[in-house]
């Protein structure tokens, strides 16, 4: 990185140290535990460089965000590198406008031996209005792999709430339907 990148990094560290000494903030907390990392939400503004010919965020950009949030959720759960092996049931409900606040929430829905089925919901809205609406949703499957690309076991995720149980059921049903559609008919 250039000189300004190093300067801002150093400046940020000085501010953290100053704030900690002043009692404004404490030391950075460790990463959340496995239980809390079964879900992750990314938040950011939809930027002008994501615009399509219709003046809205390009669908391919939304799919990239889905993959990134899913990867963060899968990797933090498996504690190792994960690869995307399936994206299904993607549904675009509403467009995302440039300047909207975007939330991409990835939640563990179901685990197999080496795979993690993650439900991703994208929401957006105008920050001045304070309302967010679901714009896109899908199921994405990741597999945990070793340094040679071989599948590795993942810890089991057990749904605890009725909402989690319903999500797990929907994920299983969608995967079964996908497998049935892909298998050759006699």
Residue 17 gets the label, from left (phi > 0), alpha (psi -120 to 50) or beta, of alpha
Fold of the 31-181 domain: Thiol Ester Dehydrase; Chain A (3.10.129)
Torsion sign over Cα 168, 169, 170, 176:
positive
Read off the pLDDT of residues 102-161 as tens digits, 9 standing for 90 and up.
999 999 999 999 999 999 999 999 988 889 999 999 999 999 999 999 999 999 999 999
Read off the pLDDT of residues 66-106 as tens digits, 9 standing for 90 and up.
999 999 999 999 999 999 999 988 999 999 999 999 999 99
pLDDT bin (cut points 50, 70, 90) of residue 12 is: very low
Q: Over 90: is that where the pLDDT of 13 sits?
A: no
> Nearest-5° angle of CA 120, CA 160, CA 114?
60
Read off the pLDDT of residues 23-53 as tens digits, 9 standing for 90 and up.
444 454 555 554 447 999 999 999 999 989 9
Burial of 175 (0-12, 13-18, 19+ CB in 10 A): buried
Distance CA 60, CA 21 (A): 45
Read off the pLDDT of residues 165-184 as tens digits, 9 standing for 90 and up.
999 998 888 888 888 888 77
pLDDT reported for residue 176: 85
Identify the residue whose tokens are 């991409």: 104
Candidates 103, 114, 104, 119; CA nearest to 159 is 119
Distance CA 83, CA 150 (A): 11
The H-or-E segment that residue 84 falls in is: strand 82-92
pLDDT reported for residue 19: 42
Domains of the chain by residue range: 1-30, 31-181
């Amino acid at each position: 990185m250039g000189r300004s990148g190093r300067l801002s990094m150093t400046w940020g560290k000085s501010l953290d140290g100053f704030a900690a000494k002043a009692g404004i903030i404490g030391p950075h907390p460790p990463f959340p535990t496995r239980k809390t990392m079964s879900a992750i939400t990314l938040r950011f503004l939809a930027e002008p460089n994501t615009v399509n010919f219709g003046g809205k965020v390009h669908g391919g950009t939304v799919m990239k965000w889905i993959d990134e949030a899913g990867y963060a959720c899968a990797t933090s759960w498996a504690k190792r590198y994960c690869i995307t092996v399936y994206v299904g049931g993607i549904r675009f409900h509403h467009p995302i406008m440039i300047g909207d606040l975007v939330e991409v929430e990835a939640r563990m829905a179901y685990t197999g031996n080496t795979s993690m089925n993650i439900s991703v919901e994208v929401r957006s809205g105008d920050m001045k209005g304070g309302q967010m609406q679901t714009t896109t949703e899908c199921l994405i499957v990741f597999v945990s792999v070793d340094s040679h690309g071989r599948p590795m076991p993942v810890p089991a995720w057990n749904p605890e709430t009725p909402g989690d149980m319903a999500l797990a059921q929907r994920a299983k049903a969608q995967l079964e339907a996908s497998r049935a559609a892909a298998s050759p008919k006699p």
